[in-house]
């Protein structure tokens, strides 16, 4: 391998040109979405196309420059002035009688300042990436790697964050640790409003409150009410709410008592093929204190399937802005009832990947499957 080939291999990390182009398109689309939120593209009646173009360019400029610190904004402006300034020469006669010539190359100094700005921004990105990786490892520790052994119930789950860290949460654990064999199990899935670090932090508080409050005696509605009171104290006046589905399963009776707090209604497919939706509950957590929550109860018979998911599954979009939708999820469920939950889970995630193709993922995806045996 030549030196040039080794250099190219190191730069591209072995990625092919089509993979590099795909990554560039994804990065460009994400950057455009970041800045376009602050740009009003509405064209004022009577404004010419040229003026409208320069107006949009000005809005994009300010959307970009205001993302920098004040010192870096000045550095960027000076670099732009240098890059567009014409090169020039200054000539004067020295005291010795010789002729001195000073050449100023604005393009060179502008490019140099741009390189300095790039190095500063990359440094911030590296630090942020390291912190995000640590946050990802902590979040992975908060979520179960494998489902527990639950009598008369087979479980499989998977999650896929839209960013490095996610705002989705799922768990299955015994409510009473004193006697697992005869106790009940809590089944929870939640979706915090927003994405990335803010949502991940609230997800961690949700996990902590659920584990702490679930150890207290009382019905499921009381548990959800306590969690809502706690969520309201950390929701920034309702702006950071959480939708959740929390259920308590009793293996002895096969009864599943649940509360749906503003979450996507899970799909219960009976062995006969009939579909039921688990909707009883109330509003999402963190919006309003002291609101009542109601519970629902179903009995899981042998052969029944329960599909619990976040909106990132059914609202996943392809390049034509078409959503995956519940109808496609139901079709996968009906066609694969004879397989194990983990196999069905893999099939659904693979079908979701085929549907989305190379379109960017806009939301966290979490899916949990339960099969009564």
pLDDT in tens, 100-155: 666 667 788 888 888 888 888 888 877 777 776 776 777 777 788 888 899 999 99
Lowest mean pLDDT among 252-256, 290-294, 323-327, 360-364: 360-364
| pLDDT over 70, % of the chain | 90
Contacts of 53 (CB under 8 A, 6+ apart): none
Average pLDDT of the segment spanning 213-242 = 85
Which fold would CATH assign to domain 143-372? Phosphatase 2c; domain 1 (3.60.40)
Average pLDDT of the segment spanning 46-65 = 83
* pLDDT: which is higher, 194 or 192: 192
* pLDDT: which is higher, 294 or 168: 294
301 phi/psi in degrees, rounded to 5: -90, 160
pLDDT at 175: 86
Torsion 271-277-280-281 (CA) sign: positive
How confident is residue 331, by pLDDT bands cut at 50, 70 and 90? very high
How confident is residue 162, by pLDDT bands cut at 50, 70 and 90? confident
pLDDT at 225: 93
Average pLDDT of the segment spanning 197-211 = 84
Residue extents of the structural domains in the chain = 67-142, 143-372
Contact 369, 305 (CB under 8 A): yes
Q: What angle do CA 14, 20, 22 make, to 5 degrees?
A: 140
Residues 167 and 313: their CA atoms lie apart, in Å, by 14
| Three-class SS of the chain | CCHHHHHHHHHHCCCCHHHHHHHHHHHHHHHHHHHHCCCCCCCCCCCCHHHHHHHHHHHHHHHHHCCCCHHHHHHHHHHHHHHHCCCEEEEEECCCCCEEEEEECHHHHHHHHHHHHHHHHHHHHHHHHHHHHHHHHHHHHHCCCCCCCECCEEEEEEEECCCCCCCEEEEEEECCCCCCCCCCEEEEEEEECCCHHHHHHHHHHHHHHHHHHCCCCCCHHHHHHHHHHHHHCCCCCCCCCEEEEEEEEECCCCEEEEEEEECCCCEEECCCCCEEECCCEECCECCCCCCCCCCEEEECCCCCEEEEECHHHHCCECCCCCECHHHHHHHHHHHCCCCCHHHHHHHHHHHHHHHHCCCCCCCCEEEEEEEEC
pTM: 0.73
What mean pLDDT, rounded, does the chain reach? Answer: 85
How confident is residue 197, by pLDDT bands cut at 50, 70 and 90? confident
Residues 272 and 95: their CA atoms lie apart, in Å, by 104
Residues 4 and 368: their CA atoms lie apart, in Å, by 48
Contact 263, 191 (CB under 8 A): yes
Residues 356 and 343: their CA atoms lie apart, in Å, by 20
pLDDT at 91: 57
Residue pLDDT, tens place only, 2-12: 888 888 888 88
Per-residue b or e along 42-61, where b marks 16 or more CB atoms closer than 10 Å to that residue's CB: eeeeeeeeeeeeebeeebee
How confident is residue 261, by pLDDT bands cut at 50, 70 and 90? very high
**253: pLDDT strictly greater than 90:** yes
How confident is residue 263, by pLDDT bands cut at 50, 70 and 90? very high
How confident is residue 177, by pLDDT bands cut at 50, 70 and 90? low
pLDDT at 102: 62
Q: What would the two tokens of residue 286 be? A: 């963190």
Contacts of 290 (CB under 8 A, 6+ apart): 229
205 phi/psi in degrees, rounded to 5: -70, -35
pLDDT at 178: 47
């Amino acid at each position: 391998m030549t030196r040039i080939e080794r250099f190219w291999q190191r730069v591209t990390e072995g990625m092919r040109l089509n993979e590099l182009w795909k990554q560039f398109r994804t990065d460009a689309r994400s950057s455009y979405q970041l800045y376009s939120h602050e740009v009003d593209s509405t064209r004022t009646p009577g404004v010419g196309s040229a003026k409208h173009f320069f107006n949009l360019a000005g809005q994009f400029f300010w959307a970009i420059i205001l993302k920098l610190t004040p010192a870096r904004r000045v550095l960027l402006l000076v670099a732009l002035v240098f890059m567009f300034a014409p090169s020039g020469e200054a000539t004067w006669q020295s005291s010795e009688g010789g002729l001195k010539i000073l050449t100023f190359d604005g393009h060179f100094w502008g490019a140099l300042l741009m390189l300095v700005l790039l190095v500063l921004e990359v440094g911030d990105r590296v630090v942020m990436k390291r912190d995000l990786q640590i946050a990802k490892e902590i979040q992975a520790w908060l979520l179960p790697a494998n489902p527990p052994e639950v009598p008369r119930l087979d479980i499989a789950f998977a999650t896929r964050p839209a960013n490095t860290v996610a705002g989705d949460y799922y768990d299955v654990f015994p409510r009473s640790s004193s006697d697992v064999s005869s106790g009940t199990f809590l089944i929870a899935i939640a979706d915090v409003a927003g994405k990335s670090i803010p949502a991940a932090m609230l997800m961690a508080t949700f996990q902590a409150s659920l584990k702490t409050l679930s150890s207290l005696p009382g019905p499921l509605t009381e548990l959800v009410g306590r969690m809502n009171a706690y969520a309201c104290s950390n929701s920034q006046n309702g702006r950071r709410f959480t939708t959740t589905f929390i259920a308590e399963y009793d293996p002895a009776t096969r009864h599943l008592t649940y509360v749906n707090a503003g979450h996507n209604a899970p799909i219960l497919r009976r062995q006969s093929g009939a579909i039921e939706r688990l909707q009883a509950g109330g509003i999402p957590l963190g919006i309003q204190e002291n609101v009542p929550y109601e519970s629902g109860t179903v009995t899981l018979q042998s052969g029944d399937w329960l599909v619990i998911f976040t909106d990132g599954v059914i609202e996943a979009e392809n390049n034509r802005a078409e959503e995956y939708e519940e109808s496609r999820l139901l079709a996968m469920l009906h066609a694969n009832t004879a397989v194990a939950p983990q196999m069905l889970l893999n099939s659904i995630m693979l079908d979701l990947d085929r549907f989305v193709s190379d379109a960017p993922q806009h939301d966290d995806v979490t899916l949990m499957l339960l099969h009564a045996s």
